Structure 1
């Protein structure tokens, strides 16, 4: 919040400039008298004066001034000079713009202080959270309504008194900030036995010296209690869902999509609307958000139970094999081909859904054939002479900006508009942090069952670290992090030292997984090392698998094969 005064606001611009060499004696006196109540600047012998006409004596008064260059003028310097000079003439080049005198300067500065104080007071009365400000002597300067509500201390009781009169010194993070300049951001703190808060704190600096400290606190005690209840409920729900799946063959379309954030609910509503038609659907979303799960949900909503769902990853298949994978081939179509021939993905999708994942990575030469397929629903197998006709619905997904790819010439414009009839954006995990808690608990119990490692729960410290993380790899990254924590857990306890990122500053975690892999076989150690390497490269490449493969000096197909074997979702 800044309230800076400009010279234009300080100056009295009601001035007239006269040259004393031209106007002398009585003529000068009359001219000065004529321009009252304004001021007159007299230029005399290279010196500037403010001239005033004294009505009582009838005399002309000359007040000495100091010239100030408007381009280099600084209010702080004016305040230093005002002890020696009462008036300043402000010049822009050779032209006098106005003057400032000591009373006017003091009045304007006081008005600026009042304005800033009015804003600050209103802000502090408006915010709900607790905000406390102390000076260098530990006296309380500000104590908001939120602080009253959390700590049950009235403002009139604490303002002006030492904060240590009301709280134990060891409980006050604010004093550590005052002493050594320590800053905190969303740090969990036990303010007292039955109160847990999230703290932000900063020192107040004036000319590189700490003159006070500010702390804001949000009560999260109820959130922690709800989190603990959610942990118990999620565990029961997980086991219940598994039991239901075993007893019934029907599935709810969104059963695999966890989370109840507003953004996710809105996305599900759009999916339901899109599924009421047979139109093409294009799903946008970053790598790891679960685009295939949404594609399956569309399929389940608009197809029968026996309808096929055929997925093909357009970035995982070498260009030379793409056509035969998509359209299949006849027996003897090429050297090394299966003598019985092979059905392609398109034919297998007949009467169901063809899911084109990573459509933005499809080779340009194949885009022409896919466009014709979408228009006519007809195709030729490789080596075939008879045209085949199929009926299927198309759902495509991409983590790229297809409009930008079209502009670059990497994607056909006509294919883009053919696919982009209905466009749905799957929000990244960082935009719906409220889903992180539910997903974490679900993956926790899913993984503990998978590895037969009972987990007693997850600490608030680790949960806060997960909530603060940016999740460039989205849900896939969260699932892998939880799996890592379970694998390295001891006696049912999860430890923060096994997080693959630094909890405080979100920096990459440089510790090797081999350091904490005692008790695992050589194969398991190698797999976890390889998983960490691949995830790190994917995060660096922001989910772009082609870039990650290039950095790892392997082909994209090899990367997809390794991800598949390591259980990393494609």
Structure 2
């Protein structure tokens, strides 16, 4: 039904509201809303014949002290409601308000979006549209606040994790009259945290090369970056697998979302599952109160890089296969599965095909990972890139060490070109850093290049002078033999009869890698 709204301005006096009301009633109209301010009255009357309306307006205008009568589009309370609605619809959190009977009275657009409501739930009971945990409903009912509580809420698209806050509303007598509830998706919270803390990412412009071989690989990686398929990076240690993984992420539509790097060999078996998939409250002794999301949840909408994927134990391989097949993860100690939108980039320097034959790696997981294989060649197969890499490292370490080295002598460069580089680009970087530290002139010379390990520079008579050195050399030799025999840090630990963590610590101590 059409309604008429007017603003009446007058010289303030007693009885003005009575005079206006009598005229409206005498004219046969019904006042549906009335707002009084000092010197102003806002009047809303229901639809009526036009001649009667003109008569009422004429009589109101003739009241003494009335000097203006103007039609308006909205009543003051309607403008306030529109303003409030605009405000709550502009925030990034979902907002719901309920009365003391848990009936929803307010729901903003964001709440409808993240909770997947098909229609506005105004007038419905909160527990009919949201399955909040019992303890949260009890706190709301008792008028107690809820602060930053992580909950799982089922939506039409499946269960999702939210951070919920609730503030009670009290009436004039101090009794609970309802509550205002705010909701935010955990994935959005993690994305916000990532945007505030994320490091400067690597792009393909940061990959230094000159050779045609590496250019072809870069072009291929740029092409596959646009998609969502799983990428498997193959190559020896030090060839730049993580560098390519980060560049692929930054070239992809996921560039503004998290990039999570995981070294599968560096995390002990006992912790790996909880690190990747998270755990619920009270799952094990020492678990963080309230539980913890796994790295797959942190990488939601982004990319997870699983380095040294061949080191995954069998039971983790099975769970990873399920993530690849279903796109769901389940925290340890929970029954609910949460959908995650994550692109997986894996990397290894191990012969996965041989591991599959031996039964050390699941065949079905291998084929799931090997959708787009990218092989990064060893440095000895593209030595034409050594000069440009050397120039790059000189500039890098000049800045780091505040030096002014201008280049490298031809015979020093020749020495680098003739070396076979078992450690690849990582080894070249270490050699250049050592040379930059030793260089006393503006040009790196042969005497500044130390490629072999320092132990060969020690004379036999000095090498085992101290017992501590004998123990260290023996320990180091045992590590190298176990690694050569087992092929991984985890198997080396079994050969030596120590824990996987002990082997990792010893490798770091001696500057070795599991390769």
Structure 2 length-normalised TM: 0.52
Residue 392 of structure 1 deviates from its aligned partner by 0.9
Match of 2:204 among 244, 249, 254: 254
- Say yes or no: does 1:310 pair with 2:277: no
1:265 equivalent in structure 2: 215
User: How many angstroms apart in 2 are the aligned matches of 1:276 and 1:350?
Assistant: 17
Q: Against the structure 1 CA distance between its residues 329 and 301, is the aligned structure 2 distance closer, same or farther, given a 3 Å change threshold?
A: same
Residue 391 of structure 1 deviates from its aligned partner by 0.8
Match of 2:248 among 287, 290, 298: 298
Residue 298 of structure 1 deviates from its aligned partner by 1.5
Q: Which runs of 5+ in 1 are unaligned?
A: 1-248, 514-525
User: How many angstroms apart in 2 are the aligned matches of 1:554 and 1:500?
Assistant: 34
Residue 303 of structure 1 deviates from its aligned partner by 2.5
- Show structure 1 runs of 4+ deviating over 3 A: 249-252, 491-495, 497-502, 540-545, 547-570
2:322 equivalent in structure 1: 372
User: How many angstroms apart in 2 are the aligned matches of 1:285 and 1:462?
Assistant: 27
1:286 equivalent in structure 2: 236
Matches within 5 A, 1:413-562: 413-501=363-451, 510-511=456-457, 546=489, 556-557=500-501
- Residues 434-457 of structure 1 show CA distances to partners (whole Å, capped at 9, x for unaligned) of 101111111122123212233242
Q: Against the structure 1 CA distance between its residues 548 and 281, is the aligned structure 2 distance closer, same or farther, given a 3 Å change threshold?
A: same
Query: What SS does the corresponding residue of 1:297 show, helix, strand or coil?
Result: helix
User: How many angstroms apart in 2 are the aligned matches of 1:554 and 1:431?
Assistant: 37
Q: Against the structure 1 CA distance between its residues 291 and 337, is the aligned structure 2 distance closer, same or farther, given a 3 Å change threshold?
A: same
Query: What SS does the corresponding residue of 2:206 show, helix, strand or coil?
Result: coil
Query: What SS does the corresponding residue of 2:260 show, helix, strand or coil?
Result: strand
User: How many angstroms apart in 2 are the aligned matches of 1:349 and 1:252?
Assistant: 17
Does the Cα contact within 8 Å between 1:541 and 1:547 map onto a contact in 2? Answer: no
Residue 278 of structure 1 deviates from its aligned partner by 1.0
User: How many angstroms apart in 1 are the aligned matches of 2:437 and 2:246?
Assistant: 30
Does the Cα contact within 8 Å between 1:500 and 1:509 map onto a contact in 2? Answer: no
Residue 373 of structure 1 deviates from its aligned partner by 1.0
- Residues 302-344 of structure 1 show CA distances to partners (whole Å, capped at 9, x for unaligned) of 2344211111111111111110010011222110112242211
User: How many angstroms apart in 2 are the aligned matches of 1:471 and 1:271?
Assistant: 24
- Say yes or no: does 1:330 pair with 2:276: no
Deviates most, 352-361 or 489-498: 489-498
Q: Against the structure 1 CA distance between its residues 325 and 251, is the aligned structure 2 distance closer, same or farther, given a 3 Å change threshold?
A: closer
Aligned length: 300
Residue 473 of structure 1 deviates from its aligned partner by 0.6
Q: Against the structure 1 CA distance between its residues 566 and 344, is the aligned structure 2 distance closer, same or farther, given a 3 Å change threshold?
A: farther
Does the Cα contact within 8 Å between 1:354 and 1:393 map onto a contact in 2? Answer: yes
2:334 equivalent in structure 1: 384
RMSD of the TM alignment (CA)?
3.5
Query: What SS does the corresponding residue of 1:255 show, helix, strand or coil?
Result: helix
Residue 382 of structure 1 deviates from its aligned partner by 1.3
User: How many angstroms apart in 2 are the aligned matches of 1:323 and 1:251?
Assistant: 27
- Residues 14-59 of structure 1 show CA distances to partners (whole Å, capped at 9, x for unaligned) of xxxxxxxxxxxxxxxxxxxxxxxxxxxxxxxxxxxxxxxxxxxxxx
- Residues 439-486 of structure 1 show CA distances to partners (whole Å, capped at 9, x for unaligned) of 111112212321223324211111111001111110110001111111
User: How many angstroms apart in 1 are the aligned matches of 2:370 and 2:407?
Assistant: 44
Q: Against the structure 1 CA distance between its residues 559 and 465, is the aligned structure 2 distance closer, same or farther, given a 3 Å change threshold?
A: farther
Does the Cα contact within 8 Å between 2:202 and 2:243 map onto a contact in 1? Answer: no
Q: Against the structure 1 CA distance between its residues 558 and 300, is the aligned structure 2 distance closer, same or farther, given a 3 Å change threshold?
A: farther
User: How many angstroms apart in 1 are the aligned matches of 2:276 and 2:315?
Assistant: 13
Does the Cα contact within 8 Å between 2:405 and 2:443 map onto a contact in 1? Answer: yes
- Say yes or no: does 1:412 pair with 2:362: yes
- Say yes or no: does 1:346 pair with 2:296: yes
Q: Which runs of 5+ in 2 are unaligned?
A: 1-198, 460-468
Q: Against the structure 1 CA distance between its residues 408 and 500, is the aligned structure 2 distance closer, same or farther, given a 3 Å change threshold?
A: farther
Match of 1:400 among 347, 350, 361: 350
User: How many angstroms apart in 1 are the aligned matches of 2:505 and 2:398?
Assistant: 26
Does the Cα contact within 8 Å between 1:545 and 1:556 map onto a contact in 2? Answer: no
User: How many angstroms apart in 2 are the aligned matches of 1:448 and 1:364?
Assistant: 46
User: How many angstroms apart in 2 are the aligned matches of 1:406 and 1:299?
Assistant: 28
User: How many angstroms apart in 2 are the aligned matches of 1:342 and 1:567?
Assistant: 33
Does the Cα contact within 8 Å between 2:407 and 2:443 map onto a contact in 1? Answer: yes
User: How many angstroms apart in 1 are the aligned matches of 2:211 and 2:498?
Assistant: 38
User: How many angstroms apart in 2 are the aligned matches of 1:367 and 1:253?
Assistant: 30
Query: What SS does the corresponding residue of 2:218 show, helix, strand or coil?
Result: helix
